[in-house]
Structure 1
Amino acid sequence: MRRKHFVLISLAGLACSVALILRKGRRKTVGGEWPVNLAHRGASSLAPENTIEAFRLAVEAGAGGLELDVHMTRDGHIVVIHDATVDRTTDGAGPVSEMTLDELRGFDTGHNFSPDGGPSHPYRGRGVRVPTLEEVLREFPGVAVNIDIKAGHPGIEAAVLGVLRDADALGRVLVVSTPHATVKRFRKVSGGHVSTGATKWEIGVFYLLSRLRLERLVRPAYDALQVPLRHRGIRVVSLRFIRAAHDRGVRVDVWTINQAGEMRRLLDLGADVIMTDRPATLAEVLKRRAESS
């Protein structure tokens, strides 16, 4: 029975690979060295996630890149926030897409954050607000930015591209999104001139083909495979997977890793980027590796 299931899955993967091979479209390789230390929503263990404060702490700790999430407000602004609503991360309530930027600015993004799980709220009432993507790009001009488009608002892909152009940031970003359709639309509006990550569907196809040692059938339209260590009990990141990705000129970015030992193991395997809530920990790991090499 297991053998039958494996054959069926393999055939499905091959069928999907044919679709990939037939896909045309341009791919822009990320220019220069993409930083290993990518701060997941900033230094989100130390400050409210996806805020200027968290991003500043991350950069000061040694992060070379920032991972963030974006939604679009009712009046068309691209804002940096993970959830579709403001409930979890602010003292407000309601969907981001139904608010104007001014309404969103009225909420305290530091209100709920507690580094110790509840007793203290060091950022409450200190004026921490949801930033726009434009503000983040201009505040950190020399930093790579990983942008995760979280919701398929009509026109969000073109709006994100417009912000990137206005900030002259096309060459230092990677755009990702879980829905395949969102990334497909972004690749179309950007003409393939902005680097993108693989979608969940593309990752699944590549994983299956790499297991069958058929990764050379893939002509990737993406620059990075952003994956967890495991998915539904299946190990994703392995030496074989990383080598297969590198064979196709694609990075492997692993999320979200906060333990120094796991960071070292992944770096030994050849992972290109590690997303972490603790950029200072990763910076220390990288420093010690450099000193011992």
Structure 2
Amino acid sequence: MSNAIVRQTGDGSVVADNIWQFRLGAVPLVLGLVAGASAALLAARALGRARRAPDGPPPTSPPTPRSWPVVFAHRGGRYLVPEDTVEGFAETLRRFGDVVLELDVHATADGVVVVLHDDTVDRTTDGTGAVAEMTLAELQELDAGYRFSPDGRNFPWRGRGVRVPTLAEVYRQFPGRPVNVEVKGGRSGIEEAVWRVVEAAGAADRTLVVTTSGAAIRRFRRASGNRVATAASVGEFVLYRALGVIGLADLQNRRFQALQPPDTWRGVRVTTPGLVRRAHDDGLRVDVWTVDEEADVRRLLGWGVDGIMTDRPDVLARVLGRVPA
């Protein structure tokens, strides 16, 4: 969600809706995508010509992540723990066992990759200001558990030393744990910085990177030499859907290994059984956000999705037959 003109300070669902609206305008994400078929056909022809151009062999692609847990703890499970914090991730793992850590990253003023959802610290800490304008030292003076409340009245994590973590710290604290990284913020060089952290941690094979921006995800793929699995940007996803509808799916030069669509977007169903089947036929995984209701969880599991991003890992634990600790 890095290059839309929207302040990333609200609830994830509100911000995500703004991003998808910014990207897609009035074109509904339905199976037909009839309104976009003509444009998709032209794009497909251009892609076909590009693929036939004598530019040498295509770059290698990383394998699609397999055998990951179905539970993606969205920001660690933000309704249950302080979001995007080491303490929150640890508590979720203690209570619910095998989960993927889903998190968001920004770059600080001094170029450090930190884990935080919003582009400001106002909503989740006791401070104020833009992440991109603060140094790591300034950020880590803040209480990142200050505003978390499970009921709107009590604040059990205040004053317990919860800090804004770096991405490197998350990798160190949770070795071997799959991590889904959403790159945010418009700071120049963040894609290269994320890759350096992943590489230093030896975590390329347990990381999946996503950003809604096509330009940003292309920069990350170049920086990493296509050694880290990525999810489709919004534009790539729309093209994937449209080309599939008009029978030209093979003309898309796919560089992604995953689709990460919302379950619905402004009341329109985005994830469908057909989409899941086609993605699996194409060797892609499908991870859906953000799903907190038990009925929706059961429906998506029945469709065979690979991952469910949730703010309520307790709900998924119950559906999956796990007893929360």
What is the TM-score of this pair, normalised by structure 2?
0.82
Q: What pairs up with 1:229-244 in 2 under 5 angstroms? A: 229-244=263-278
Q: Which secondary structure state, in structure 2, belongs to the residue aligned with residue 198 of structure 1?
A: coil
Q: State the alpha-carbon separation in 2 of the partners of residues 270 and 95 from structure 1.
A: 40
Q: State the alpha-carbon separation in 2 of the partners of residues 279 and 213 from structure 1.
A: 38
Q: State the alpha-carbon separation in 2 of the partners of residues 168 and 67 from structure 1.
A: 18
Q: Shift in Å at residue 26 of structure 1?
A: 3.0
Q: State the alpha-carbon separation in 2 of the partners of residues 249 and 220 from structure 1.
A: 11
Name the counterpart of 1:206: 240
Name the counterpart of 2:178: 144
Segments of structure 1 that go 5 or more residues without pairing to the other structure are: 289-293
Correspondence for 1:77 among 112, 117, 136: 112
Q: What pairs up with 1:42-191 in 2 under 5 angstroms? A: 42-60=76-94, 61-116=96-151, 118-191=152-225
Segments of structure 2 that go 5 or more residues without pairing to the other structure are: 1-31, 52-57
Give the aligned residue type for 1:73. Answer: T
Name the counterpart of 1:15: 42
Q: State the alpha-carbon separation in 1 of the partners of residues 46 and 202 from structure 2.
A: 34
1:274 aligns with 2:308: yes
Instruction: Say if 2:44 and 2:248, in contact at 8 Å, map to a contact too.
Output: no
Q: State the alpha-carbon separation in 2 of the partners of residues 215 and 171 from structure 1.
A: 27
Name the counterpart of 2:62: 28
Q: Which secondary structure state, in structure 1, belongs to the residue aligned with residue 321 of structure 2?
A: helix
> 1:83-139: CA deviations, max 9, x gaps?
1111111111111111110100111111111111x2111111111110000111111
Q: Shift in Å at residue 58 of structure 1?
A: 2.0
Q: State the alpha-carbon separation in 2 of the partners of residues 6 and 44 from structure 1.
A: 34
Correspondence for 2:256 among 222, 225, 228: 222
Q: State the alpha-carbon separation in 2 of the partners of residues 20 and 178 from structure 1.
A: 21
Using a 3 Å threshold, how does the CA distance of structure 1 residues 283 and 214 change in structure 2: closer, same or farther? farther
Q: Shift in Å at residue 157 of structure 1?
A: 1.1
Instruction: Say if 1:263 and 1:274, in contact at 8 Å, map to a contact too.
Output: yes
Using a 3 Å threshold, how does the CA distance of structure 1 residues 173 and 7 change in structure 2: closer, same or farther? closer
Name the stretch that deviates more: 136-145 or 19-28: 19-28
Equivalent residue pairs, number = 284
Correspondence for 2:288 among 231, 238, 254: 254
Cα RMSD, aligned residues only: 2.0
What is the TM-score of this pair, normalised by structure 1?
0.91
Q: Which secondary structure state, in structure 2, belongs to the residue aligned with residue 68 of structure 1?
A: strand
Using a 3 Å threshold, how does the CA distance of structure 1 residues 177 and 108 change in structure 2: closer, same or farther? same
Q: State the alpha-carbon separation in 2 of the partners of residues 115 and 82 from structure 1.
A: 18
Q: State the alpha-carbon separation in 2 of the partners of residues 25 and 104 from structure 1.
A: 38
> 1:128-158: CA deviations, max 9, x gaps?
1100001111111121000000113111111
Instruction: Say if 1:108 and 1:127, in contact at 8 Å, map to a contact too.
Output: yes
Name the counterpart of 1:291: none
Instruction: Say if 1:260 and 1:285, in contact at 8 Å, map to a contact too.
Output: yes
Name the stretch that deviates more: 146-155 or 276-285: 276-285
Q: Shift in Å at residue 232 of structure 1?
A: 3.2
